[in-house]
Structure 1
């Protein structure tokens, strides 16, 4: 479910079931040509599909963090956003990225789902298994 699909009344009613926030990370730097930015966004959509489609009704996808390379500054920013999402009531936070990210360590996220170094979307079955393990406390 997208953040924009929920009004205040729906959120109050559905919050117990929507326990997982998905935070997309595009990884743009501003150095991309328009067609390269388009490819990056298409890649992010593929990654998001591995989460949103099978788990609709339990996840809420927030707006993307568009710009930033994986540096300590971005990791700190993501950590703050993840902390805020938890304060808003989410039990779990999943980063979904169009670029390969090293790990969730330090980002505040419970799980990172990202394209690989060859820019291929992750295997949907593996993503599904990782999220289920997360929810069962076995991540």
Structure 2
């Protein structure tokens, strides 16, 4: 479910069931040609699809952080956003990146899961995403 699909009344009703936020991170630098920015957004779309599609009704996807990756100032900003999402009531926060990330990385301690593309730009396997999400929901 997209953040924009929820009215205040719907949020009050559905909040107990929507316990997981997804924060997309595009990783743009500003040095991309227009077609490269488009490619990054397409990679992000593909990663998001693997997360959103099977778990519709339990997750809320937030607006993307377009510029910066998960290091330096941009990483601190993403960490702050993840922490605030948890403060607003989300139990879990998942990062979806348009670039390769180490799923075991501790760069963003408030994120429960990190998914990104392979070095070839491919999204994570559906089975990998499904298993990882179910594991955090089961507390494993």
Within 5 Å, which residues of 2 pair with 1:45-56?
Answer: 45-56=45-56
- The equivalent of 1:106 in structure 2 is 107
- CA distance in 1 between counterparts of 2:60 and 2:70 reads 23
Deviation at 1:78?
1.1
Within 5 Å, which residues of 2 pair with 1:16-27?
Answer: 16-27=16-27
Within 5 Å, which residues of 2 pair with 1:1-139?
Answer: 1-103=1-103, 104-107=105-108, 108-138=110-140
Q: CA RMSD in A?
A: 1.0
TM score, norm. by length of structure 1:
0.95
Aligned residues: 138
Deviation at 1:116?
1.1
TM score, norm. by length of structure 2:
0.95
Uncovered stretches (5+) of structure 2, i.e. residues with no partner:
none
Uncovered stretches (5+) of structure 1, i.e. residues with no partner:
none
- CA distance in 2 between counterparts of 1:69 and 1:83 reads 17
